[in-house]
Amino acid sequence: MTIIDNNHHGIASMEDKGMQKMGSGSSNNYVLGNTSDEIERLKIQSALFEPLTRDALLKGGVRRGMKCCDVGCGPGEVTKMMGDMVGKSGKVVGFDINENYIKYCKASTKQKNISYLCDNIITSQTLPAETFDIVYSRFMFVHLSDKANALKRMTRLAKKGGTIIVQELDHAPDSWLSYPKRKGVNTLRKIYVKLVKNAGGDPYSGRKLYKMFVDQNLDSTIESYSPCLVMGREPFNSLGWKIALSLKPQIFSLGLMSKKEFDDMLSDLKEMSQDPHSFVLYARLFSVIGRK
């Protein structure tokens, strides 16, 4: 896989070529965008991870009547799940920096025990300290430049004796394993890692969570999983090429791929998605639960 430099004078390996970081891990750091297509992709991804998320919430002690917060809620799929789990006597707040996601959440959520706020976890003064029984986040830390401060702020929101739960992916080399092997899978992983780094995030955040929890003096446990996507079976087989399409505007705006390179990658991913003999192990999921 190659990457074209901004002046188009040559090419360099994607892992080696350095580029100036964009953004500061705040409002412009989500490289996949917030279009309606990306919201639909996130809903498919959420369905894939729902069993692991539900398991983490149960292990974290979620029950009826609790007050919970979903930090970086995106389109609100986990927020709604938590709303069902805490019941009518409970309360859930979905919290995201992206106004488009919050608007979507408010329009698509019917549960009366759920509310949404548009704010930044790093700078927010909206939510009072020691309010929630469970403070949860999924797939947010990979996009942050100041992960330690975000966890500190999440810990502050939890009641004494409350629980902080973070689930995050780690996009290490060879973590996206395809069999039979497809070039497009590793190409997509490399381009995603590059874009996350350029935006000020950390694609290897998953492995770093446990130490961060211990540093916050949280009584913590850690688990890790490798989600398997079987090709030829809807809807999870489409996640690869849908990720590529969500990344497309950033890829072209930064000159990271030529049109032919992108089309070749997309074609390979779409072809693989229809091959019933194939599967893909996605990035490792790390799940950390800490008691305050």
Contacts of 224 (CB under 8 A, 6+ apart): 206, 284, 285, 286, 287
- For residue 139, give both structure tokens: 């797939």
- For residue 5, give both structure tokens: 């430099």
Between the alpha carbon of residue 180 and those of residues 173, 183, 273, the distances in Å are: 17, 10, 12
Is residue 102 within 8 A of residue 79, CB to CB? The reply is: no
Between 18 and 58, whose confidence is greater? 58
Tell me: the pLDDT tens digits for 121-166? 998 888 889 999 999 999 999 999 999 999 999 999 999 999 999 9
Fold of 19-291: Rossmann fold (3.40.50)
∠ CA(77), CA(155), CA(153), 5° rounding? 85
Tell me: the pLDDT tens digits for 58-79? 999 999 999 999 999 999 999 9
Predicted confidence at residue 218, as pLDDT, reads 98
Predicted confidence at residue 31, as pLDDT, reads 83
Domain definitions of the chain by residue range? 19-291
Quote the CA–CA distance of 211 and 218 in Å, as a whole number.
Answer: 10
* pLDDT score of 80 more than 70: yes
Predicted confidence at residue 151, as pLDDT, reads 98
Q: Is the pTM of this model over 0.95?
A: no
Quote the CA–CA distance of 42 and 243 in Å, as a whole number.
Answer: 9
Predicted confidence at residue 253, as pLDDT, reads 95
Whether the link from the prior residue into 180 is cis, omega within 30° of 0, is yes
CB-side exposure of 30: number of CA atoms within 13 Å? 20
* pLDDT score of 35 more than 90: no
Predicted confidence at residue 24, as pLDDT, reads 31
